[in-house]
Amino acid sequence: MTTEAEDDDIVTPVKLTSDVEQVILHPLVLLSAADHYHRVARGTRKRVVGVLLGQVTKGSVDVTNSFAVPFEEDSKNPAVFYLDHNFLESMLHMYRKVNAKERVVGFYSTGPQIRPNDLRIHDIVERFLPPGSLTPAIFCIIDIRPDRQDLPITSYRVVEELSGKQQVHRSFAHVPVQMGALEAEEVGVEHLLRDINDPTISTVASLIKAKVAGMATLTEKLVECKDYLQAVAHGTIPPNHDIIANLQTILNLLPNLNTPDLVQSLIVKTNDLEMALYLAALIRSVIALHDLVNNKIRYGEDGTALQEEKKEDAEPIKDEKKEDTKPADSKK
């Protein structure tokens, strides 16, 4: 009786965890990670690692800040790496003094792919989570390569799976990620982008590049929808009614181009826009030619009139200097 009662009183400890539904990354984190990479590992094959700070609300991880951590790993032996725990702890202590609401929510890496050491780094970062935290640490790969056209962020969480031999195997599972910013951050990023000016790239070229990137992204999404519908039609994957309803809504919003009135209105609108562009280009050319003619009239064909004008302006200045020096000589 006693042993049974004692067995009933024994409670097995269970670690409760809350699932991560999405990750919201702020622009300050991207700027800090890019600056960290350019200071430490620019021009090399190394990657940099840092800690992500933010808040967690109902499964949504809001990453608002980050800081760099000294990190080194052996390229020949993936099992050998170094992460400065003391630096991480001291930096976290200083950040708590500035903003007590920000807590450790995970870590970032410049990847650009998952490495074998990332699970071990994840275990180290989880030690610095707040006591009693139910949300596990997240892992974000921030791709700093300039040739990437889509969102340079990929976020993951650690999941545990049972293998065939009843062994627990841990791996990274993808988590949806999106960009988010406060009003002050939006203003700061807008001013920063205004200051960035590449004289080798014209405004028209940048606009065309943005249009091409947008069309490429649209094509990629359409191909993904087509592959999904084909897989559902062949019975490869089960149908998802929410996705099919959204696709039907998108198709219903498309205009019917077979209507003569719509075709005529599109033609008229396009002609009006093209006429405005043609007139603007024509006026710009006439103004440029007008300025060129005025310059030729004022300064001559070879610019000799401009040099003579400079000489005429310089002679009165010399005469004034001579007049100023004469009274001084007479006093002597």
Cα distances (Å, whole numbers) of residue 35 to 39, 48, 89, 142, 159: 6, 10, 21, 12, 31
User: What is the DSSP track for 6-29?
Assistant: HHHH------------EEEE-HHH
Given a contact cutoff of 8 angstroms between Cβ atoms, the answer to whether 71 and 108 are in contact is no
Question: Could you report the per-residue pLDDT of 138-163, keeping only the tens digit for each?
Answer: 999 998 887 776 788 999 999 888 77
Tokens encoding 183:
């009003």
Given a contact cutoff of 8 angstroms between Cβ atoms, the answer to whether 85 and 96 are in contact is no
State pTM to two decimals.
0.59
- The residue segments making up the domain with residue 215 are 198-253
Tokens encoding 207:
């606009």
> For the chain, how many structural domains are there in total?
3
Given a contact cutoff of 8 angstroms between Cβ atoms, the answer to whether 10 and 4 are in contact is no
Where is 40: in which H helix or E strand?
A: helix 27-40
Separation of first and last alpha carbons in the chain? 128
Tokens encoding 85:
């725990």
Asked if residue 182 belongs to a domain, the reply is: yes
Given a contact cutoff of 8 angstroms between Cβ atoms, the answer to whether 29 and 177 are in contact is no
Asked if residue 327 belongs to a domain, the reply is: no
247/262 same-domain check: no
103/239 same-domain check: no
Question: Could you report the per-residue pLDDT of 18-73, keeping only the tens digit for each?
Answer: 678 899 999 999 989 999 999 998 888 889 999 999 999 888 999 999 999 999 98
47/177 same-domain check: yes
